[in-house]
Amino acid sequence: MLQEERIECPSIGQLNHFLSNLRRNQHGSKSMTMSELVDFVTPRLQMPLDVDQPFIAGYDAPNIEKRWFRLFITTKRLMSLAVKTKHILADATYKLVYEGYPSLTIGTTDNNKKFHHFGIGITTYEKQEYFAFIFRTVKKTVENVEGVEYEPDTLIADNAPEITNGFKDVFSLKKRVNCWAHVIRNIDSELNRIELTLRQKIRRDILAIQVVDAKEKFDKSIQLLQQKQWCVEGRNGWFEGYLTGKPSTSNGLESSHRAIKDYHNGRLRKRLPLKQCLQEMFNLVSKWSNKHSKVSVIESVGEITEVENSNYLEFYAKPVITTQDWTDAYKWQRLDK
């Protein structure tokens, strides 16, 4: 269009220079020195009285010269959710911080399989010791807030060994749920090498195995398959009966990554410099925490009024069984299978 109007088109270098200046004017300097990071973190390390005020529950900088650091942001209310379950969901997401640091997300699900955040972390790397730091920080903070020992024993995540081993460094792992969505994607990748008709038969068998309700049935079914990649100990927690009543995927956590990036009109999609990203994450964690309060506080002309929280997010102690669920169960029972 510019060429049709005989207007000189800017080069790629000129466009990058323009965008770089625009980001600098909007968000300030891209880089954050370690001393600036310490100045940001230090006043936020103390646990506040307000249950919905975010704070940095854990901070560590094992190598300042190499800019290695890790921190975790949460609130007392979010930490109080942890003692209601014995399972944890954990993952990492990228493209939030301009410098490329991963953001580690962690939470749990209620008995209606609704996901609830514990907080969010920023670390230099997505390694075992960094996940262990997040788990250890959650454990310490929950025990300080609730005054009880916190020992979850079940991890729901993709098959990343860094998450598994990080969990084992802090907790005693009894159940390792391998996210079914990741399992089937990896299986499909392997099956693509096989002729179509045979591939469809194998995949149909695998889908049938996934819905079995007991480990004995699962083990017997696996003996009929030659493909064993997702069937060895530690990687066989992807069938529905492995952890009854709990999710067989980490989709609830992973779908929250999109909500994180869409927060504040997609501000976190812009890969903000670390300092601005940290401030946005404080606001985001505060929002998560306030959603678990049944009342909202409104200040006006020096007066404080409590009103019902229209965005209240309930943590269900029991699953919600709908009329449709009862209808489907009745139809299934009539099949006499």
Residues 69, 63: Cα–Cα separation, whole Å? 7
- Of 189 and 170, more confident: 170
Q: In the predicted model, is pLDDT for residue 137 greater than 50?
A: yes
pLDDT value of position 105? 97
134 & 191 share domain: no
Q: In the predicted model, is pLDDT for residue 44 greater than 70?
A: yes
> Cβ contacts of residue 82 below 8 Å, gap of 6+?
108, 118, 138, 142, 146, 150, 152
Q: Determine the average pLDDT of the residues in 93-120.
A: 94
pLDDT value of position 6? 64
- From 244, 262, 292, give the residue that closes a domain: 244
76 & 165 share domain: yes
Residue 87: helix, strand or coil by DSSP?
strand
- From 205, 226, 244, give the residue that closes a domain: 244
pLDDT value of position 27? 54
Query: Residue 197: is it exposed, middle or buried by C-beta count within 10 angstroms (0-12/13-18/19+)?
Result: exposed
Domain encompassing residue 200: 180-244
Place of tokens 């921190």: 71
Q: Determine the average pLDDT of the residues in 235-240.
A: 77
Q: Determine the average pLDDT of the residues in 106-112.
A: 96
- Of the candidates 337, 319, 271, which has an alpha carbon nearest to the alpha carbon of residue 112? 319
Please check whether residue 10 lies inside any domain of the structure.
no
Q: Which of the given ranges, 30-44, 197-211, 215-229, 279-293, has the highest pLDDT on average?
A: 279-293
Please check whether residue 9 lies inside any domain of the structure.
no
Length of the chain: 337
Q: In the predicted model, is pLDDT for residue 246 greater than 70?
A: yes
222 & 90 share domain: no
Sign of the CA dihedral running 250, 90, 115, 266: negative
- Yes or no: say if 98 and 24 are a contact pair by the CB < 8 Å rule: no
Q: At 230, is the pLDDT very low, low, confident or very high (cuts 50, 70, 90)?
A: low
pLDDT value of position 29? 60
> How many domains in the chain?
2
pLDDT tens per residue across span 72-98: 999 999 999 999 999 999 999 998 988
Q: In the predicted model, is pLDDT for residue 231 greater than 70?
A: no
Q: In the predicted model, is pLDDT for residue 123 greater than 80?
A: yes
pTM confidence score: 0.80
- Of 184 and 63, more confident: 184
pLDDT tens per residue across span 183-227: 888 888 888 888 888 888 888 888 888 888 888 877 777 765 645
268 & 209 share domain: no
pLDDT value of position 337? 57
85 & 168 share domain: yes
Q: At 26, is the pLDDT very low, low, confident or very high (cuts 50, 70, 90)?
A: low
Residue 130: helix, strand or coil by DSSP?
helix
Residues 314, 28: Cα–Cα separation, whole Å? 39
CB count within 10 Å of CB 265 equals: 7
- Of 268 and 154, more confident: 154
222 & 317 share domain: no
Least confident of 58-62, 178-182, 232-236: 232-236
